[in-house]
Amino acid sequence: MSFVTHEGEPTDAELLFRVTRGDETAYRLIFRRHERPCYRVALGMTRSTWDAEEVVSSAFAELWRKRQNVRLVDDSALPWLLTVVSYAAKNHLRGAGRYRRLLGRIPREDVEPDHADEVARMVDSAAVSAEIQDALSRLNARDSAVVVLCLIEQLSTRDAAVALGVPEGTVKSRLSRVKARLRGDLAHVAPGAREVTE
């Protein structure tokens, strides 16, 4: 994957250097540059615009907090941010699941569902099938990060390894394991895929 840079604009490395010095303008530039791809990944994982916004906010807060330790890939902070988005989304989903289970124990009166929430759910799920999202949501945070970087954002295993701070062999083995698991979990969606890939 190659990252687009605009002539005359500072690189992520330059901006990040300024951010480490407390430059809020540089921080806002990095945010504007990478907000959309981060939001797209967060929305795909959380299935909710509200939750996706919260996850992206958490990821950029983490960028500010850990600005001295951000790892660049090909002079871009995006792979590091996508890794953080992936972990933040998994944590958010776990917390939301605990909250729903807690609410399920509380007796309640019959309440009409909010029409706006239903419309938002339908729009959010239009891009990715529910079965694929469910299969992805069952992955642990490390495997989800590999899926986001290598399969969704199409980074090389080398670049993903840099972003994750692990050896490339680790990324390759996780990717192989995840692909095999997803092929098994989703075999009924595309039954011929197993024969083609084996």
pLDDT tens-place string over residues 110-133: 555 555 555 555 544 444 456 667
Residue type at 184 in one-letter notation: G
Measured between alpha carbons, how far is 118 from 141 in angstroms, rounded to an integer? 28
Q: Is the pLDDT reported for residue 191 higher than 80? A: no
- Nearest to residue 182, comparing CAs of 143, 154, 145, 156? 143
pLDDT, tens only, 39-64 = 999 988 888 899 999 999 999 999 99
Per-residue confidence (pLDDT) for residue 38, from 0 to 100: 94
pTM of the model: 0.62
Q: Is 129 left (phi over 0), alpha (psi -120 to 50) or beta?
A: beta
CB atoms within 10 A of CB 35: 16
Per-residue confidence (pLDDT) for residue 140, from 0 to 100: 85
Q: What is the chain's mean pLDDT, rounded?
A: 80
Q: Compare 198 and 69 and report the one with higher pLDDT.
A: 69
